[in-house]
Amino acid sequence: MEVNHSITITTMIAEQTITWHVACSVEDIPENGGACALIENEQIAIYNFTRRGEWYATQNLCPHRQQMALSRGMIGSTGADNEPKVACPFHKKTFSLKSGECLTGDEYSIKTYPVKVENGQVFVGV
């Protein structure tokens, strides 16, 4: 009993409550590309991965040189399990769209956000 108790507490700390924000409509984000939306004063890059029928969102800031550019980067995939990724237009640092991990070997990573599409509207969870 004690075991479960203490684990539940941690999970609650780990899972913060998500608020969904309307970002834009589906056609605002180009197919197989990204665009930036301003949500709660944060710049969030939203990617319409049409090829895979998937949506992703990350911070717009590339941590390498602190540039607001990821939404203008090319998206794609890498590796045997087709990890979805985005490449910063400045120096081609790439990041996983799933985990935010830098795939070009640097130590920094980017924040990712949940996305959902309802009635032609794109929502981002912050």
Which residues contact another protein (rule: CB under 8 A)? Answer: 2-3, 6-7, 9-11, 13-14, 23-24, 28-39, 43, 46, 49, 51-52, 61, 63, 65-69, 72-80, 82-85, 87, 89-90, 92, 94, 100, 103, 105, 107-109, 111
CA distance 89 to 82: 21
Closer to another protein at the Cβ: 23 or 115? 23
Residues in the chain: 126
For residue 20, the minimal CB distance to another protein (Å) is 14
Spatial neighbors of 62 by CB under 8 A, at least 6 apart, are 68, 69, 70, 88, 90, 93, 110
Closer to another protein at the Cβ: 6 or 119? 6
Contact status, residue 98 vs residue 110, Cβ threshold 8 Å: no
